[in-house]
Amino acid sequence: MTEQNQDLPDTESYDPSASSLAGQVDQSVMAELLSIRSSIDNIDATLVFLLAERFKATQKVGFLKAAHKLPAGDPGRETAQIARLRRLAEEAHLDPAFAEKFLNFIIGEVIRHHEAIAEDHLASENNGAAASQPRLSPAAPSTAVDA
């Protein structure tokens, strides 16, 4: 799931103080801005690794469902999930509507993953490869969506 980003320069050398405001802002204000941005950067790194872990988990579900021919969707689960996320959002003083939108955004990506995987799966079947794949390999049917 990785790719080379040769079109993006300097991806290895992140400058936490990169800013188009440099030199135009009072030094103490810039220091406060950079301090808050440093927290945002830490949060973003955590989000990326946490999202990666979440996709690992939904991939496991995908393979489990595929292995046992379980249906793609699970409306009972999804309803409970949405209600819980909205309640947690209220506790966190986050807009519950945003929490629901966020879950739908992630679900969309899970579906996209499964579709891409299904295409690979179909391609390997057409090439005469075995239809069954080891667990956690990059192949699961597109029907195995569980977010």
Q: Which of residues 17-46 bind its own copies (CB under 8 A)?
A: 18-22, 25-26, 29, 32-33, 36-37, 39-41, 43-46
> Rounded to whole angstroms, how far apart are CA atoms 85 and 83?
6
9 binds its own copies (CB under 8 A): yes
By beta-carbon proximity to its own copies, the closer residue of 133 and 147 is 147
Helix (H, G, I), strand (E, B) or coil at 72: coil
Report the alpha-carbon angle 125-130-131, nearest 5.
65
115 binds its own copies (CB under 8 A): no
Q: Which of residues 82-101 bind its own copies (CB under 8 A)?
A: 82-90, 92-99, 101
How many contiguous H segments (helices) and E segments (strands) does the chain have?
3, 0
Q: Which of 58, 114, 133, 144 binds its own copies (CB under 8 A)?
A: 58
Cβ–Cβ under 8 Å, residues 65 and 146:
yes
How near is the Cβ of 128 to its own copies at its closest, in Å? 28
How near is the Cβ of 104 to its own copies at its closest, in Å? 11
Amino acid at 46: T
Q: Which of 14, 27, 126, 132 binds its own copies (CB under 8 A)?
A: 14
Q: Please report how many Cα atoms fall inside a 13 Å half-sphere around the Cα of residue 94, on the Cβ side.
A: 13
